[in-house]
Amino acid sequence: MPARPDYIDDLDEPETLVDLLDRVLDIGVSISGDLRISVANVELLYVGLRLVLGDSERLLGGPREAET
């Protein structure tokens, strides 16, 4: 078996955090939005970001889904 990769654990950079959110969210729990990230009024990046919205029941794989 190959050596285990040293996965990213430093999420301090906004771009890395966006990369995490972009892949860790499952289909159907997010909507598309736009976010500007800036520091001291200097725009650093403009990204399409998925914002987690909605109540927690919509995120459940619970009975309401099972009934559909």
Q: Which residues bind another protein (CB under 8 A)?
A: 1-9, 11, 15-27, 29-30, 32, 36, 43, 45-50, 52, 56, 59-63, 65-68
Amino acid at 2: P
Q: How far is the CB of 14 from another protein (least distance, A)?
A: 10
- Closest approach, Cβ 39 to another protein, in A, equals 15
Q: How far is the CB of 9 from another protein (least distance, A)?
A: 5
Q: What's the maximum distance between 2 C-alpha atoms anywhere in the chain?
A: 50
* Element of type H or E holding 67: helix 63-67
Instruction: Please give the helix or strand (H or E) that residue 31 lies within, else none.
Output: strand 30-39
